[in-house]
Amino acid sequence: STPAVMLSAMAAAARGGVLFKSSAALDALAGVRTIAFDKTGTLTQARMTLTRIFADDERASLALAAGLEAHSEHPIAQAIVTAARERGVAAVDLSGAQAIPGHGIEARTDAGERAWAGNLRLMEREGAQLTPAQHSALAELNAQGSSTVVVGVGPRVLGVMGVADALRPGIAGALGAIRAAGVEHTVMLTGDKSEVAQAVAHETGLSEFRAELLPEDKLRIIGELPPPVAMVGDGVNDAPALARADLGIAVASGTDVAMESADVVLMQNDLAKLAGAVRLARAARRTVI
Ligand code: ADP
Ligand code: MG
């Protein structure tokens, strides 16, 4: 049976908004050497905003993007759907929408063409290419540290969009406290571009980052980091990495599947609470041994 000291540590953690699904999870956190963090929606706020549209017809490309992103749970999707609504742009009706993890989303237009929105990897898969003007718009957005979305139909790129991604408040302090609690390595894993990851690593003081990762890359890297490894994530794409890690930690603003795959849930999405939980877990382990 679970020692009383562990039960009371779990109860104390729960009062602080950190929900352990088992006493084994509490014990695992006590021994964690590395914590890997997803970027979008985990280190950054779940709310992103559309900052820029570069297109011959901005409203048409936003209407198409919103039609696609209405079917996605990614934080980028919510930024685009909200922007369309705020500008009074009606989303294009599409069918058969399908998320492509680490790439974006695809669906069919009424005319039977394939519409898509996502990153350059998705664009290449669709056999599409940027014009020189679109290419320089994208480069400019990346240089500013914005995440970017390319929207198209079949082999035609209709527009390039920038989305901004504010860090969660207090994140640098929270990561510092996690390291001070004895976690040796804090690493960001992201599907986003290196430029964006670099800017976030700099602002948060993260010791290490890996960018432009597909969900399967995140899985592999989890297995390569100094063990035991905890993974913190929010998205559908993070579920396999959360399950693969020695300890999966989900932020509660994330998707249901992330919370189901995790051993620990951060109820207030507050990474500062994680440092307190590490200290509690370590104290409980010392008392039990
Ligand atoms: P992260 O949470 O680190 O961004 P993801 O695996 O969720 O990692 O996404 C990786 C990349 O795939 C994103 O940075 C984005 O470029 C692209 N992407 C994923 N889903 C979408 C979407 N619905 N719309 C546009 N781009 C997307
Ligand atoms: Mg994410």
Q: Is 256 left (phi over 0), alpha (psi -120 to 50) or beta?
A: alpha
Ligand 1 pocket (Cβ < 6 Å) reads 38-41, 69, 72, 74, 76-77, 102-105, 117-119, 147, 149, 190-192, 215, 235, 237
Instruction: Tell whether ipTM is more than 0.90.
Output: yes
Cβ burial, residue 286 (10 Å; 0-12/13-18/19+):
exposed
In this structure, the residue with its CA closest to atom 16 of ligand 1 is 119
What are the residue ranges of CATH 3.40.50.1000 in the chain? 4-45+167-288
Q: Is 141 helix (H, G, I), strand (E, B) or coil?
A: helix
| 40 CA closest ligand 1 atom index | 2
Tokens representing residue 146 in the block? 């914005």
DSSP single-letter state for residue 209: E
- Catalytic residue at 256? no
Rounded CA gap, 163 and 74, in Å? 12
Question: Ligand 1 center to residue 162 CA distance, Å?
Answer: 13
Fold of the 49-164 domain: Calcium-transporting ATPase, cytoplasmic domain N (3.40.1110)
pTM: 0.86
Q: Which of 214, 209, 156 is nearest to 185 (CA)?
A: 209
| Burial of 196 per CB tally in 10 Å (0-12, 13-18, 19+) | buried
pLDDT tens, residue order, the chain (289 aa): 788 999 999 999 999 999 999 999 999 999 999 999 999 889 998 789 999 999 999 999 999 999 999 999 888 999 999 999 999 999 999 999 999 988 999 999 999 999 999 999 999 999 999 999 999 999 999 888 889 999 999 999 999 999 988 899 999 999 999 999 999 999 999 999 999 999 899 999 997 999 999 989 999 999 999 999 999 998 878 889 999 999 999 998 877 888 898 999 999 878 999 999 999 999 998 887 6
In CATH terms, the fold of domain 4-45+167-288 is Rossmann fold (3.40.50)
How far apart, in Å, are the Cα atoms of 49 and each of 147, 161, 197?
A: 10, 11, 17
Q: Where in the chain is the domain with CATH 3.40.1110.10?
A: 49-164
Structure tokens at 99: 């998320």
